[in-house]
Amino acid sequence: MAPHAAPGVLRGPILPYLLRHSLRLFAGLLALASLSLVDVYFIGRLGPDPLTAVGFTTPVFLFGVNVLLSLGTGLTAILAQTIGRQAPVAPPFWGGLSLSVLTGSILSLLGYLLHDRLFGWLGASEVHLPLLREYMWALYPAFLPMALVLHLLGLVRAYGYTRLPMLVMLLIVGANLLLDPLLILGWGPFPGLGLRGAALATGLAIGLGLIVAMIGGRAWWPAGGLRAWLTPGHIDADWGEILYIAGPAALTRVLLPFAGATVTGLLARYGAPVVAAYGIGFRVDLTLLMFMIALSSVLSPFVSQNYGAGQLLRLRQGLQHGALLALAYGLGIGMIVALSGYALGRLFTQDPNILSAFATYCFLVPWGYAFNGLLMLATGALHAISRPWHATAAVVSHLLLLYLPLAALGHALGYFEAILLAYPLSHLLGSGLSWYLLQRALPSGTGTRQRSGG
């Protein structure tokens, strides 16, 4: 029996569906965010050099993850639209699976081929290069199972379900937490493998997640098979639709760390305590904004399915409910952080200069949380209706025309507080622009209509 869309997607109450499934993904994402902290804790027991070496791997690993996440964005949007139209999902699922396998394999191969050149360009010293080879050569193969996990869970999310993705994320984190001390430090009968053990723990945890995703997600798989869709016609059509969304999505993901590095450079001129406060604040923001990421991840398949089904009124109602949730959460949690800067800062440091700068950060930046959430929802919805270049225009405009110029203006005024104000102001303006572009991209009317391409 073919699976159906989750209750609440195409019919039924909207707000309870969005809230329930967002909280599920929020729990999984919070756990997943702790994965790197667990690795850093145990690697730190090996000494300063291994810890420094792993620091060099962050941009490389994040690049691969962002490529795969962008591919997942395109796949989920196409699958959810197909489900909404009640058309067969076999072509995009199996065709997309071959694309995921190819992408994961290419990322692994490129890692091996470009390893020394890449980390030399990043500035790794002769001391750290052997450690990097030990760690990354055991980690590069993990890109393939990671691509498969994201692909299989993308189908489940396209139907509107989140329980299995949450469970897989929690399982990966739990397995990694169990394996790290065994393989890194050699607890019990296991040999201590150091950095290689850290990479193997991550790879084995992802592999275990893949097994569970295959077993738990088997009920959602369409009939047919990979071989049936590996024909030039299917590859051209299915890969083209997915990459049409994934390409621009990857471009926007690349711009985010660039903007963060630029602002860090501006703040560095005001002293180390300001940079330290910004680093702590960035991690606090990332943790608290996981709910917005979860909400956007739930809303996007909702939008895609209703777009595919021609239920434009329900689509707009879902966007309104999502926006209200983002505003309520963002303003609520932003107010709490703004009023508890010193208390929150003492969890991370006792340095009075860092505490003072962090309290200032907390008083200014969190007022942009709600508008950041609105920006995420709008760009996610644009991807969901196959308007990726509209989403790219919104993100590029926000970063390059609003955030960075406002930060530069704040620096020109000579106050680091003015640089921090660029965050809420740019997100306020950027969210308005993104919702304007979304309204322009949505077809007019409220009833059934033919799906248009482009």
Confidence of residue 452 (pLDDT cuts 50, 70, 90): very low
Q: What confidence score (pLDDT) does residue 374 get?
A: 97
pLDDT at 231 over 60: no
Give 126-148 pLDDT, tens digit per residue.
Answer: 888 888 889 999 999 999 999 99
Q: What confidence score (pLDDT) does residue 2 get?
A: 55
Can you spell out the DSSP letters for 208-239? HHHHHHHHHTGGGPPSS-TGGG-SHHHHHHHH
Give 239-259 pLDDT, tens digit per residue.
Answer: 888 889 999 998 888 788 788
The secondary structure element, H or E, covering residue 70 is helix 48-84
Q: What confidence score (pLDDT) does residue 454 get?
A: 33
| Mean pLDDT, range 289-298, rounded to an integer | 94
Confidence of residue 453 (pLDDT cuts 50, 70, 90): very low
Q: What does the buried/exposed string (b/e) look like for 150-168 if buried means 16 or more CB atoms within 10 Å of the residue's CB?
A: bbbbbbbbbbbbbebbbbb
State what percent of residues in the chain have pLDDT above 90. Answer: 56
Kindly list the distances between the CA atom of residue 397 and the CA atoms of 183, 221, 255, 394, in Å, as whole numbers in the listed order: 46, 39, 11, 5
Rounded to the nearest 5 percent, the helix, strand and coil shares of the chain are: 80, 0, 20
Cα gap 73→385, rounded to integer Å: 11
pLDDT at 331 over 90: yes
| Mean pLDDT, range 384-412, rounded to an integer | 95
| Burial category of 189 from C-beta neighbours within 10 Å (exposed 0-12, middle 13-18, buried 19 and up) | exposed
pLDDT at 296 over 50: yes
- Taking the domains of the chain in order of start, what are their residue ranges? 34-230, 248-454
pLDDT at 238 over 80: no
Confidence of residue 213 (pLDDT cuts 50, 70, 90): very high
Q: Which residues contact 80 (CB under 8 A, 6 or more apart)?
A: 158, 159, 160, 300, 301, 303, 304, 305, 308, 384
pLDDT at 222 over 90: no
| Mean pLDDT, range 420-437, rounded to an integer | 96
Residue type, 223: A
Q: What confidence score (pLDDT) does residue 36 get?
A: 73
Residue type, 29: L
Q: Which residues contact 160 (CB under 8 A, 6 or more apart)?
A: 5, 6, 8, 9, 17, 21, 80, 298, 301, 302, 305
Which two structure tokens, joined as six digits, stand for 169?
Answer: 């994320």
The mean of the pLDDT values for the chain is 88
pLDDT at 226 over 60: no
Higher-scoring residue by pLDDT: 90, 109:
109
State what percent of residues in the chain have pLDDT above 70. Answer: 94
Higher-scoring residue by pLDDT: 38, 115:
115
**Residue whose entry in the numeric block shows the structure tokens 């997915």:** 242
Q: What confidence score (pLDDT) does residue 254 get?
A: 79
Confidence of residue 211 (pLDDT cuts 50, 70, 90): very high
Confidence of residue 366 (pLDDT cuts 50, 70, 90): very high
Q: What does the buried/exposed string (b/e) look like for 46-73 if buried means 16 or more CB atoms within 10 Å of the residue's CB?
A: beeebebbbebbeebbebbebbbbbbbb
* Ranges 83-92, 283-292, 367-376, most confident: 367-376
| Mean pLDDT, range 399-426, rounded to an integer | 94
Give 145-202 pLDDT, tens digit per residue.
Answer: 999 999 999 999 999 999 999 999 999 999 999 999 999 998 878 888 888 999 999 9
Least confident span in 44-53, 197-206, 320-329, 432-441: 44-53
Least confident span in 70-74, 137-141, 265-269, 290-294: 265-269
Confidence of residue 233 (pLDDT cuts 50, 70, 90): low
Cα gap 221→334, rounded to integer Å: 41
| Mean pLDDT, range 398-410, rounded to an integer | 95
Confidence of residue 423 (pLDDT cuts 50, 70, 90): very high
Cα gap 68→142, rounded to integer Å: 12
